[in-house]
Structures are given as structure tokens and as C-alpha cells.
Structure 1
């Protein structure tokens, strides 16, 4: 055995020896992180056989679970006492720790199930029982709902039109339409801000908006309305809704089941219920409406109680999607709420929305997700949701019949996930203060002011600044993104909007009576509260910022659904963006429940003939059948399956996947996808590269067919799988005949064309090397810059690595001149831009403001390669769920060190590598129940130590040989510290 005595090895050996000398108790295998359907202690499960998951912790290396036992009881006492009256799995010989299906009796509505799990280790030794977790069933039958829908219709109020102008977005062309708008408002009818209604077009071919200054009582506010949108001035007050009830006995538990056609916030006895925002979220309300469940036991008191609500239009009745549509699903918001109080004596009392509820005009004058919120604090009723306020003079509400399918909330809610203090404040125009939060974010501003009663403070939001320091809003298109607060005037006031959100880094305040401090505004970051699943850090600050931009970009666009952008008048679930980013999303967040929910939206949007919409939830005016966009219907479920080993998402979507493939087949000629390609976006926002759109369509037709065949195999539907495999082979042959020359050139000779052909396995084996060479030549001809758009970009780095050119992948990743990933980073981006050249030093913002979002996650799809190749955390080909791991960090690039982690469904994976001259240090942490194949860069095993011990003598390390310039070993769970010589 070769004796190696490098600096620092002795210390590592001593440390490792100390780790090995743990107590016998610490050597046990312990189950932890118990979850039901991906959620921790959920209150509304509707799956008849919920799936349970846990991770394992163990001290010893190479540990795995040989058996488990899950026990479920109807109470904590029964669970602790061994009376497992709901389910006892018994000892199950299995290593499975994820998606263990409940196998007990039929569960009923409202039932709470307490559970714990015990695991046996590799030697058959039992670990301790886990901590107790629970899940609770939702309302499983329509008849469980006894509440009625009550209307939250806003009431008209008198306003005076002071000034109205129909103008271009930049304000350079304005037409006074004050008299015309006043007459239209006086009629009390619905109308649209169109050229026809407003007396003609003041600026042909340019986007416009209507600006209206109106007086409400003593206050003047400015309202904005996009061209061709229905005009919504602050001429209505949305109501407070409430009901008084009595609690006369000791309460055991209380649950509030609630939802809205719109967005809502509940209160009980003056306290906000839950921490959800913008609930119930966006679905196709024609197909299903989600409800939420809250444990409100501690909010009730003996005696009189009050339950109250405020409801805004949200996606249901407000603006949603393109084309400025309002009231796409309905015109009047409504609330459904059912409070169920269980007393200690076992009796149950229900307080439900019905005709006994009361309403009163509230402070909310306008609330729109895109345009913003107007709040008149002078109209607030202090303690309105407490018994201290009588509702004797309030009006009764109107009930209405609704035939809606109610479903539980299966993913995490939207919450405030971070607070951002202002970094600086300037005054570019007298009286207008611009705050910089330092980070492009999504959410709202918390305002803290002291001002006289009736003071109107206008809050505008923007992602960028103009050269003069004012906010840049042209890229918001028709979204006003403006909140207005009318002050109470009773001291320090704090307010944040309830029923809107904006995408912004900069905040402009107008109307402040005194100069503000930094504490005047705080950014309240809103997002679906997805658990963080990935971390990445390295020796290059620009690459670290790119990773941060990827994370913040997805965080801002994961708001109920995966949107394209959060700031302009669009904010839709574009399918193409989601499918290219799905693998990256699964590395950085625990995205399984979120994507599972969205796939229900995708299926709801699918046409009966199998065509997928471009967006989900689907909106009017959008097309169907677009290649790469419709293919999200196959790619996203498959991506979730690969990351989480979740076969249920395949089961739920397989029929939809098959129908999409069939529809694509029907709309092809000789297997070339040449018909019914919808909006046919192609390689969206590519740079000087025109990939044939029928090539893209055919490539994705092949890819979806391949994925569907694989999914059918996983589900055991082998005959159908074989049919799809044969179809894939036929499409592949047709693709090669039509698009690949005998010298390996792909039609169009674009990066995107080569990437799709190579990545999807469409190039004949004998031409792969040649096709790869042509791709490299294209990159070289562009001085090592990318040219691909949304469709090809996610495959670029992976294809280069698969071709053995990690050096080129690094070169592209580290490129910082246009077009490249680091170009935006170099110029101050804090999220991913929609365009490679959204802003340039030479030209400033892109000349097309209508398509220039500065928060658009699609180009951040390189994140998956950063985890897999730079960090070395990857699944072997054909594997799902990280039960097997491939650790092969590409250390030959420009980085000195990298540290990465991923909280997989199996547990936490960590890697860290560092180069120090000819020495490479590689640390790997593998979760219990996982084996890892580790490739250690070295010429020979004799050049490698593990925790100070020669590799061949290291405990828990199995030698496999050499591959790709590395020594290959297999390890089980635990931490491994490798040191090798590299040359």
C-alpha cells in the first residue's frame, strides 16, 4: 500500500475517528421529516389513500432501511398507548420511505389521523419510534358543505372626475377626455377604455392608457386603466362581511373551511385567520375551486364571537391574463365559509355563510391583481370583526346559488416568505421619492407613515429606473401596478395591500407630507411557500449571483401557478416556460405538490381532442397545440417523477399524455409535425438564429412520444409502451430523413436544432459525432456565445457535457458578454431577464418595452446543470427519486471550489470540492437508503485518500474501477472526505 502523507490528512483522520466513536444510541436509524402528500401535518387531505413519506438519519456509514412499520391512530393517546385503531402496517420488509400508501380502513371527512413510523436498519436492528405527525381529512362529500355562497358585491359611491387623459404609456402624447369620462361615469354603465369610447386614437400603433384623477370625499386619487380594458375607477366600496355567534361550552377544536370566488381574508375576534395570501389561488373556476382549512381553536372564546371576511375580485372577477380581460370567470366576488366547532362533550356547532351574515361598506375602493389596490383608511371601522362593534345597523347579505366543484388545497399556500428593507431613497422629482429594495421581488410594500387625515399616498412599482432616476414603467404595459393609501391621520399608520401583487425592485412614493426614511417602506415578498431544496455556492461571485437570480426568478413566478412574469399585464401559466425550467425547479425547491396541482390545471385546459393549451389555467384568445408549449403536458409530470420517484403524478396524467401524443400524430404528415401548431413560437427569443418551426414541432413530438412510452413502462402498461416506442422509432427515422444531412448537419444549422436533435436522441448513432462537431463550430463562430432561445437553452450545457466538452460548457456558462447568462449579472440583474439584451450599456432598456420582463425564469434553466455537473449532484440515467446518486463534479473548469446541497425525497445530499494546487478535496454526504457512484478525479486509486485512509482501506467504500479520468467508487450513506492528486 502506497504511503501518502499530505498536509492536513492526519487532522482529517482524527476527526473521522471521532465521528466513528459515537454512542450506541446515536448509531440507531431514526425516521424523521414525516410528511403526508408532501405536506407537514396537513389539514385537508382528500386522497382516499394518502401517501406517507419520511427520511432517515443514522450515524453509521452504509445504512439503509430493511423494513418499516407505520402505525396510525385516531388520537395521540391511542397512538402512544398502542391502540392503533386506524392502521397498523405491521413490519413491512422494504426500503421504501417515500409514497407509502395508507392501507387502513376507509377514512371519512374531518378525520384526524395521528401517525408515527419505525425503521429497521441493514442489520435488522429496530430504531426508535419517530416523533408523532398527523394529517386531517377534508370535506370529502358535497353534502358535507352546508354553507351558502354569499355575495361580496362592491357598492357604488359618488366620485367627481377632476381630470382624465387618454395617453401613451410614456406620457408623451396626451388627450384631455375629462368631460367624456365624466359623462360615461354618470351613466353608471360598464365601458371600455377604447379609441371608440374615448373619441379616437391619439397615437396610432402605440399602447395607451387612461389616467383619471378623481375626488372621493376630501381625497383625490389617480386611477389608471389599460387600453381596451374595462374601466374600473375607485367608485365602489367592497364590504366588510361578518356574523356574530356564541360559544357557551368548552371547545375541543374548531376548524374553518373557507374559499371565495375572488381572493379573501378571514378574521375571528379581531385576529387574522392563518397566514395565507391571495387564497384560494388561481384555478379554472369553471372546473374547480380550492378551499382552505384553518385550525382556529385558539381564536374562539366563551361568550360572543365574531367571524368576518373581506373579499376582493382576484383572478375570478378582476383582470387576469392577456387582453385586459376582467370578470373572465364571473363579475361578482363571493364567499363560502363553514366554521365547525367541536365541544368537549362531542357536540358540533356550525357557523356558516348564509343569509344571517351582515355587510357594511369598507375601506377597500379598488383591488386588482395587476392594477393595484386603493385603501381609504378614513372609512375603516376599528375592531370591525370583534363583538365590540355592533352590526345591528349593517345590511343583510345576498346569498346565491353556485354549482362549483370544491377541492382541497393540495400544495403550499402563498405566504409572505421574506421581508426586504429599503437600501436607499432618492428624490429625482420634487415630492416623488424612489426607494431601492436591492432585489427584484414579487409582492407588496408595507407602508409606515404619519400624515394628516385624508392624505393620499400613491405607491408605484417598477423593476428598473430611467436614466434620470425615476421609475421605468413602460414594460408594465397595461398594468398600472399602483397602490393608493388614504391616511386615517391618527398617528403612525402601517398598511399593506391584501388583494394585489406586483413585480418590482423600486418603489415610488408620492404625496408624503415629510421627507421619508428608509423604514417608510418594506418589501413583503409573496410566493407559494415552497420549501428550499437546493443551495449552491462557489468561488466565482458572478456565478453565485446567477444562482441567486435563478432562485429569486422562480420564487417570484411561483405564485399559485408557475407564471411567465409577475409585473406586466400577463402573469399567466405559460407551459413552455414551465417545461424548460422544471428540472431546475426540482433542484432548488420542493416543487412536487406545486407542480402536481398545476398539472390539474393543465388537464383542465386540455381540449377534448387532446390538444394542450399554451397556458394553464386557460384564458380566452390563447391558442392550442403549440410545440414545446403543449409538450409541458408530458415533460412536467415526467420531470416530477424523475426528481421525486412519484408514480402517482404519472398515473394522474398518463391518459392526458397519450391523448396529446395522439393529437400530435393526427396533426402530422408522414410523422412531420407540420399542421395545427397554434401560435408556433419556435425557439422564442433566440438571437440571430432561425430554427425551422416544423423541426421543433417534430422534435418535441418525438420527445413527448418517448416520454409517454417510458411512463407507460413505469406504470406496467407494457403493450401500450411498446406501441409508443415503435412510434418514437418511426418519428426518429422521419426526423433524420427530413432534417439531418449525410454529413450530420441539421436543417437550419442553429444551436437549437442541434441541441434538440442530440438531446432527444434523434441523430443516428453514426452521425452523432459529426452533428456535435457542427454544434461546436456554431458556438466557435459566435465567439463562444449562445444564440438559442427558450426552447434550446435548457439543453445546451448538458449536450456539451454529454459530448465530452465540459470545458466548452464552462466557457459558455462563464461568458459575460451579450448574449450570455452572466451578461445580465454583470449589469446588475437580481433575477433572470426575459431577453438576453433586456438592457444594454449602449441602448439602455430594450426598444420593445412590451416584451421586456426583468423577471422571467426560463433562461435560468441552466440551474439544473449547475447542480448536476458543477456541484456533482445527479441521478444516474434511468433512475428516479435519488435512491441512486451519481457524484461527478466537473472540476476541470475555472472554479477553485464549489459547495452544493439538495434536499431530495431520500434526504439531504451534500457535495463540496476544492482545488489546492495538485490536490483535490471532495466531500460527499449521502442520505440513508441511498447509494452513490462517485467519480474522483485521479490517475489511480493509490492517489486517493478517504478521511486520511488509503482508498482501498476506507470503510464503506467499494472500488469500481476507472472512468473518464477518474477513480470510481460506490458508497452508501454517510459523509466521505476524499483527497486526491490531480495533474
Structure 2
């Protein structure tokens, strides 16, 4: 009895303590803080940046955790006392469950400053969480007038008439004295071409191939470098190393700048009392000297390719980036005045990732050595060599085992006086699996050869695995391929032949990207690139017009208006309406995924301009063909396409592009309604309705519910544009199913654009059975054939052995989204963007097809998990709903079996299309029958 009384007293005292000293512990805590989709970003030039977080449950076994209010504090110093932290902004307690992209509303931000922020929330019972860990961001330069630095380069420029590039990647340096160690110094650097930054011999930051690729007829992006720790009292030197790369890319040639690497940089240096000690800025007083590194070949598609780079060890200069170097024999920099807008690089930089080691080294009869890296990849290599001084060692890259070199990609190393050295990339990258080494006198050692994939440093967001090994191979290979294409803040079509950001290919990759990676900043930057290139004619728009070659061997004329080229930021190459139309589709995908209203607003005028341009080619409510040979492509690279020839002059292609145009109109209508642009929404909705009727009337075949040429791509396009009367859609869907399962024996029969349409339609219709049929084939055409052929990346074409085509390409990456939202069943709710509400649906697949699947998806609203299994007719499903979210579970209605749930508060809410529906709040759940 005494023990019972004792425990009761403890409980009473605890309750009193909670009442007197504070509330109960909150059920959630804010974590994963981001600013403008980035973790602790540097040099933002956004006046009102947006904050996001997710919530972590304090009790993993609880249910229904929610946020009912938040309070954000922003401080100008992390060291301020806690009660004064919010000197820039204290939002106060805001009654809201919003935790995504909340706009800063405090005092005006100043250029070149660091700011710190944290957030607290209230849970479903009004209990306050503690404050999160402190996150930070720094600002860039908000106005062009704040730049007093000058653009500098050398007096050497690339001349296409002279053949391959002859410019050695230049060094620049500036020495200066400081009377004391500084406390703050941010060096802002923008370059045309790549750059590296050194201070007193120390490399600043470990990113590579900086900055992100940008249209250098309009813009240059700067990166902020914190150089204060590398500076000291006394004599200092800032050294910049430029790489030629995009500086000689033909479409970027303009009259106001030479085709040569350029740089602009400046830093204000402060002491501990925030007193400015000095401003160091690029000007003619900087000294320059050629480095030992040089681009091999040119830079661009069709003008010798992207080559590689050569290092001449005989030209090395020790201590080139130290203050002790006597640089009196170096030349002064040349000042240039390009008309470029300077803006920050608001996307992650490139990094080296996934170190790759060779699996075999073969000696060949001609004295060369063949290195098998075991996987096709795009990136850097490091290879140690030895020989006689002056020997040139060549490294030839190939995607194909039977070919010594593909796409002209090679590197070289000229051995210096020591007789040995190490080649490593600096301002270019290669792509391939096999490396043929020529010029060595003895076999290279496997342990002295390394490779790395190079890609933009966005975070992974998903994991997936299922019972079918082929599906796992496709998923993992799609992701590996996607990552090898994501260099420089945009997705290239291929990393070896073209390196262009095709809009049509983006349709095949963007949802795969969003469901598997954190790409909010990445795609926001790419859309800015599309805004920059709008108004420029596609490369081959009017090739017979003598004025088309404004930019020498690349691109087209600046026409103004809403016309879009087929790629950005590179605008070079062919395409059609589905290429430019990515400017409508991608903002909508980002909005659905992130709930990002600003991305719709920022790109609305571009969308409006694009649709206005298409309006000039509309007759009788139908889009007619425009442009020259390569400007009106429809589907691309379907099975057998190369033998059949391009279909861009066919009537079927008119139909295909009209269906896509209607899809653009309907998507733009939704965008306009979300942001309150009623007039445009009504106009586009009306046009979409009228055009749908016109297209259907002309191309529909009522005898078999088919369209145009009765191909799979035509059926996909019709359903994608939803051009048919509502009562016919189920019949057209069944005709598509027949086309796949019967006429094509379960195989796919579309290409890049048609495939993106097909998979989007089937995912939204819940026809996982049809997608599985196509992804499970191991004969031509299909992903399974790629696996059977030993592929380690996804090919450009369904056919492997056609010469000149890439084996690492963006063409067929569209299954990557399906594995998350189809097989694992984690699906967006069309009415609630940002995954605050979502669905988990077990796919309609048989146990012999896929018997189990599991995935985790780190959504913008938190970690979602789904794991299901079918065994002997019994189904189990495990679901994790993150705090502040709700989900609709669609569990198969299996012959009237009762569904058991591990939580009493979960009740059946309805039945639909063979599923039993359950609405569930945050928590971990197990369903079974």
C-alpha cells in the first residue's frame, strides 16, 4: 500500500510540474530545414527567400501528429542571445499547418551577409516544440551596380577557321597585403567557361566543373567562396584557374566578347569589427599565364566533339598559386565588357561521386592496354603513368567493347622531366566504360586507375526494391543513367556526343527525377535557362537563309517573341512542339510535387509566350506544321525508326503534335487557375475544347476506337491529350491494351516522346499490368534486352548496334517514376500539391508478376514508406505517413475478404474500382487480409 501511495504521489507531482512549469512535450519536432529548396545555401540573390521543413515524431508509435502553428526566427548572427535571435524577423506564432516554402517577411536583407534561422511548431494539442537546429544562408549581390570588378581574360581567342582549340587554360593571380587576419571575406566568382579558386595555394571548395552551364549570351552565374580562413596578415594571393569549355561553344559567341575563357571576381575583406580592410576585384592589374592544361579539339556537337584535355607536365610551374612566386614575367590580364547579367548559381554545384575501380586491364598486341571500368559512366579519371620525358600517353574512351574510341573522347598526358606523373581531369569529362591507353612502356596497375561519376550534388530521395530482379535492374540502371546525365544544373541528352538540354527528352526524365531526387532548385534553375533562350530560333529553323548563322556554326537568329529552341541553356539541335512545351509541363510537375506557387508565377509569361507563338500556326483549330526539317518532330526513336525514316512530314505527326498541344493548353489552364489568371485560363480551356473536337473528328477511327495511323504512339498521344469524348476514353484505353498485349506481344512500340506520353497515361489510369508487360520483356524491343546485352546504362535507341548512337542516354528513363508511384504505390493527390495528402495503392499485379515491393520516398512533406507483399493469396501492406500528412490507402478488394488494420481509429471510407479505401493520419500502419 505504501508503494502504491508513493507512485500516486509521484504522478500527482509530475502532473503539477507540467501544469506549473510548462506544457506536455510536443508530438513533433521540426527537422530538415531548407531555404529555396537548398540546405544552407550560399549567395542567394532572392529578396524574400522561402523556408521549408518537415516534422519528426517524438513518439514513433503514436498517430495523428500534426502542426497547428509555427514560429520562424531569423537572426543576423548565430551568436546572439536566444531571446534576441530574431533581430531580422520574428514571425510570431502563425496558426497554420504550412511547412513548405514560407516566404521571409522581415527586415530588408543586405548583400554579402550571413543569416541564420530556426523554427518551432505547435502540435495537434497546442504543445510547443523546442526550436530546431539553426540553419543558415548567405546573400549574394542584389544589384548589378554592386559589381565594381571587371571581366578579364587573356589576349588569346578561339578561331574556328584555325581548327581545334589552341588556348591553354589560363591562370590569373593577384597579390595584395593585409595588416591583420580577416574575419570575413566572401569571394564572388562568375566565369564564362569553368573555374577553380585558390588562395595562398589552397584550393577553395571541392566542387568541380563550376559554374553551372548557362546561356552565356545573356547571363553568367556567380558562386560565393568563403576565403577568410585562407587569408592571413601579410602578403596574400588569390589565384583563378579557368577552363576553356563552354567559352568557345558556338551558340554562345557574341560580338561583345571573344571566344575565350573570361572571369569576373570580387571580395570585400573585413576585420573582426566589421570594418572593411580592402576590396579585391578583377581588373587589368591581374597577372595571367598559360597553365599546362588544354582542351583537346573543340567544344560542341558537329564541330569535332568535346574531345578531352591534355596535360603537358613540361609546362608545369611550381608555386603558381603562392604569394612567393615572382610573376613579373606574367602578362597583364585583358579587360572585356560582355553584356551579361550576373546572378547567383541557385543550384547545387557538381561533385565527384561513386569512386569507380577497373575490373580488368588487358595487354593488347599493338602495345596498348585496354582498361575495363566495369560500368559505363560520365566523369573523371585519374591514371598514374611513367615513361621517358616528352612521351605522350593517350587515353581513349569507348562505350562499346569492340571500338577503341567513341565520339572522339580522349585525354592525354605529356610526361615531364621526372619520368612519371598522374593524369587527372580538370575542366572536361569523358564518357564510356573502356579506356585504351597508348604510349606506355609497361602495363598500368589497376590500383593506380580510378574513375568518378560527376554530377550535380542534389540529394537522393527514394529507395526501391521488389521481388522481380529485372525490375530492380531497370530501376537501378535508370537512376544510374539519370545521375550521369545531370551535370551542370540541367539534364543532358547524352554526356558524350551532344551535351544538350533537350525539352523533349526532359519529358522522359523529369518525373523520374522528381520521384527519386530532391530537384526543386535544379529544375528551378533549368526553367530560368528556358526563359533566357526564349525568342531564339532553333538551330535549323531556316538553314537555307544566309542570316541563320548569326552565331557561326551553331544555333539560330534572335527572333524575339515566344518561340523556343529545342534545348536550354544550349539551344542547339532539333525538336518540335513537345520540346518547347516542357516550359508548360515542368512548372506544373514541380508545383504538384512541391506545392511551389512561385515557379508557376515566374514562368507564366514564358508559358503565355510559347502558346501565343503556337497560335500563329493554328488553322481551323488545329496546329499546322511549322519550321524546317528538324523543327516539328513528334515521337522520336521508336523501334525501327532509323530504318523507317523520320516521320516529321507525315500526317500522323500532325496528329501527334496536335494532341501534345492540347495537353499543353489543358496544363496551362490549370496553371492559370491556380495563380488567378482567369482570362488566360478561359481562353486556353476554350481552345483546348475546340481543338480536341477538331482533332477527334478528323483522326478518329470508330471501327476500332483508334486514331491516325493506328500506332501505339497515336493511341498514347490521343489519351495523353484526352481529345476524345469522355464516354469513349475507356474504349480507347482498351484498344491501347490490345495494341500492347496482342498486336505487340507485350512489347513497347514507342520512342522518347511517345513513351513519356504512354507511361504517363498508364500510370494515371492505374494500368500497372500494361507497364509491367513492357518492362518484363527480355527480347527486342525493351529494357530487358538491354540487360541481356550486358548494358550498364540505358541506351539512346532500342537498337544497340547502330553506329553513332549513344549507350548512355535520356531516351527511356520514364519507368523510374512508375516504380515509386506504381509498383510501390506512393502516389500524388492531384488536389493537394506537395504530398501533404497522398495515396498508397497496391498495384493490380499478380503474385507471379511481382509478389512484393518496398520503397521509401523522402517527399517534400516528409518520409513516406510503403511495403507490400502477396503470398499464397494473402496481402499485407505497411505504410508510414509522416507527421502533418494524411493518406488514402487503396487496398485490393479481394473476394470479400476482411481487411485488418493495426490501428482501431482506421475505418473503411469507401470502395472504388476494385479497392477498399481507408483514410489515415500520420503514423505507422499494417493492413492485411
Task: Say which of 372, 382, 393 aligns to 2:318.
Answer: 382
In structure 1, what is the Cα distance between the partners aligned to 2:310 and 2:668? 49
Q: Does 1:755 align with 2:716?
A: yes
Equivalence map 1:283-682=2 (5 Å): 283-318=214-249, 330-348=258-276, 349-366=278-295, 370-466=306-402, 470-473=403-406, 476=407, 480-490=408-418, 493-607=421-535, 608-619=560-571, 622=573, 626-676=576-626, 679-682=631-634
Residue 373 of structure 1, CA deviation: 0.6
Aligned to 2:731: 770
Aligned to 2:841: 888
Task: Say which of 964, 968, 972 aligns to 2:917.
Answer: 968
In structure 2, what is the Cα distance between the partners aligned to 1:503 and 1:29? 46
Aligned-residue RMSD, C-alpha = 2.4
Aligned to 2:145: 143
Aligned to 2:548: none
Q: Is the 8 A contact 2:507 2:756 kept in 1?
A: no
Alpha-carbon displacement from aligned partner over 1:352-398 (angstroms, at most 9, x marks no partner): 21222112332123355511111111211122111232223333222
In structure 2, the CA distance between the partners of 1:804 and 1:350, relative to structure 1 (3 Å rule), is: closer
Residue 609 of structure 1, CA deviation: 2.7
Q: Does 1:820 align with 2:769?
A: no
Q: Is the 8 A contact 2:256 2:337 kept in 1?
A: no
In structure 1, what is the Cα distance between the partners aligned to 2:25 and 2:794? 44
In structure 2, the CA distance between the partners of 1:402 and 1:562, relative to structure 1 (3 Å rule), is: closer
Residue 763 of structure 1, CA deviation: 1.5
Instruction: Please give the TM-score of this superposition, normalised by the length of structure 1.
Output: 0.84
Alpha-carbon displacement from aligned partner over 1:75-115 (angstroms, at most 9, x marks no partner): 11226233421001111111111110001121121122111
In structure 2, the CA distance between the partners of 1:86 and 1:725, relative to structure 1 (3 Å rule), is: same
In structure 2, what is the Cα distance between the partners aligned to 1:919 and 1:491? 69
Q: Is the 8 A contact 1:320 1:328 kept in 2?
A: no
Task: Say which of 65, 68, 73 aligns to 2:70.
Answer: 68
Q: Secondary structure at the match of 1:277?
A: coil
Of 861-870 and 356-365, more deviation after overlay is shown by 356-365
Residue 406 of structure 1, CA deviation: 0.3
Equivalence map 1:778-793=2 (5 Å): 778-779=739-740, 780-793=742-755
Q: Is the 8 A contact 2:356 2:450 kept in 1?
A: yes
Q: Is the 8 A contact 1:252 1:344 kept in 2?
A: yes
Q: Is the 8 A contact 1:262 1:311 kept in 2?
A: yes
In structure 2, what is the Cα distance between the partners aligned to 1:814 and 1:800? 16
Residue 648 of structure 1, CA deviation: 0.7
In structure 1, what is the Cα distance between the partners aligned to 2:360 and 2:256? 40
Aligned to 1:202: none
In structure 1, what is the Cα distance between the partners aligned to 2:765 and 2:30? 41
Unaligned ranges ≥5, structure 2: 1-22, 300-305, 536-559, 642-646
Q: Is the 8 A contact 1:154 1:238 kept in 2?
A: no
Residue 483 of structure 1, CA deviation: 0.9
In structure 1, what is the Cα distance between the partners aligned to 2:523 and 2:874? 42
Q: Is the 8 A contact 1:587 1:867 kept in 2?
A: yes
Q: Secondary structure at the match of 2:425?
A: coil
Aligned to 1:686: 638
* Number of residues of Structure 1 aligned to a counterpart in Structure 2: 858
In structure 1, what is the Cα distance between the partners aligned to 2:154 and 2:380? 23
Task: Say which of 275, 281, 295 aligns to 2:206.
Answer: 275
Alpha-carbon displacement from aligned partner over 1:753-811 (angstroms, at most 9, x marks no partner): 11121132212122223222322232211212111111221233453465564333321
Residue 623 of structure 1, CA deviation: 6.0
Of 491-500 and 342-351, more deviation after overlay is shown by 491-500
Q: Is the 8 A contact 1:112 1:137 kept in 2?
A: yes
Residue 458 of structure 1, CA deviation: 0.7
In structure 1, what is the Cα distance between the partners aligned to 2:81 and 2:41? 18
In structure 2, the CA distance between the partners of 1:584 and 1:26, relative to structure 1 (3 Å rule), is: farther
Q: Is the 8 A contact 1:262 1:334 kept in 2?
A: yes
Q: Is the 8 A contact 2:70 2:119 kept in 1?
A: yes
Q: Is the 8 A contact 2:63 2:924 kept in 1?
A: yes
Of 518-527 and 99-108, more deviation after overlay is shown by 518-527
Equivalence map 1:57-206=2 (5 Å): 57-58=56-57, 59=59, 60-78=62-80, 80-154=82-156, 190=159, 192=161
In structure 1, what is the Cα distance between the partners aligned to 2:759 and 2:295? 47
Residue 139 of structure 1, CA deviation: 0.7
Equivalence map 1:691-706=2 (5 Å): 692-706=652-666
Q: Is the 8 A contact 2:828 2:835 kept in 1?
A: yes
In structure 2, the CA distance between the partners of 1:580 and 1:671, relative to structure 1 (3 Å rule), is: farther
Q: Is the 8 A contact 2:389 2:418 kept in 1?
A: yes
Residue 511 of structure 1, CA deviation: 1.5
In structure 1, what is the Cα distance between the partners aligned to 2:577 and 2:338? 37
In structure 1, what is the Cα distance between the partners aligned to 2:251 and 2:423? 25
Q: Secondary structure at the match of 1:853?
A: coil
Residue 542 of structure 1, CA deviation: 1.8
Q: Is the 8 A contact 2:508 2:810 kept in 1?
A: no
In structure 2, the CA distance between the partners of 1:28 and 1:383, relative to structure 1 (3 Å rule), is: farther
Q: Does 1:52 align with 2:51?
A: yes
Q: Secondary structure at the match of 1:957?
A: coil
Q: Is the 8 A contact 1:278 1:314 kept in 2?
A: no
Q: Secondary structure at the match of 1:292?
A: strand
Aligned to 1:222: none
Q: Is the 8 A contact 1:643 1:881 kept in 2?
A: yes
In structure 2, what is the Cα distance between the partners aligned to 1:374 and 1:61? 61
Of 865-874 and 877-886, more deviation after overlay is shown by 877-886
In structure 2, the CA distance between the partners of 1:145 and 1:547, relative to structure 1 (3 Å rule), is: same
Q: Secondary structure at the match of 2:512?
A: helix
Q: Is the 8 A contact 1:450 1:489 kept in 2?
A: no
In structure 2, the CA distance between the partners of 1:430 and 1:355, relative to structure 1 (3 Å rule), is: same
In structure 2, the CA distance between the partners of 1:339 and 1:697, relative to structure 1 (3 Å rule), is: same
Alpha-carbon displacement from aligned partner over 1:239-287 (angstroms, at most 9, x marks no partner): 3211112232132122111111221111111111112222222211121
Q: Secondary structure at the match of 1:865?
A: helix
Q: Is the 8 A contact 1:627 1:696 kept in 2?
A: no
In structure 1, what is the Cα distance between the partners aligned to 2:322 and 2:789? 52
In structure 2, the CA distance between the partners of 1:498 and 1:713, relative to structure 1 (3 Å rule), is: same
Residue 440 of structure 1, CA deviation: 1.4
Instruction: Please give the TM-score of this superposition, normalised by the length of structure 2.
Output: 0.88
Q: Secondary structure at the match of 1:692?
A: helix
Equivalence map 1:941-952=2 (5 Å): 943-946=898-901, 949=902
Q: Secondary structure at the match of 1:932?
A: strand
In structure 2, the CA distance between the partners of 1:344 and 1:800, relative to structure 1 (3 Å rule), is: closer
Equivalence map 1:697-776=2 (5 Å): 697-743=657-703, 744-776=705-737
Q: Is the 8 A contact 2:797 2:811 kept in 1?
A: no
In structure 2, the CA distance between the partners of 1:484 and 1:721, relative to structure 1 (3 Å rule), is: same
Alpha-carbon displacement from aligned partner over 1:642-699 (angstroms, at most 9, x marks no partner): 1111111100111111222222222111121113155222211112586711111211
Residue 937 of structure 1, CA deviation: 2.5
Alpha-carbon displacement from aligned partner over 1:859-894 (angstroms, at most 9, x marks no partner): 111221221110111112333211111100215231
Q: Secondary structure at the match of 1:315?
A: helix
In structure 2, the CA distance between the partners of 1:329 and 1:150, relative to structure 1 (3 Å rule), is: closer
Q: Secondary structure at the match of 1:465?
A: coil
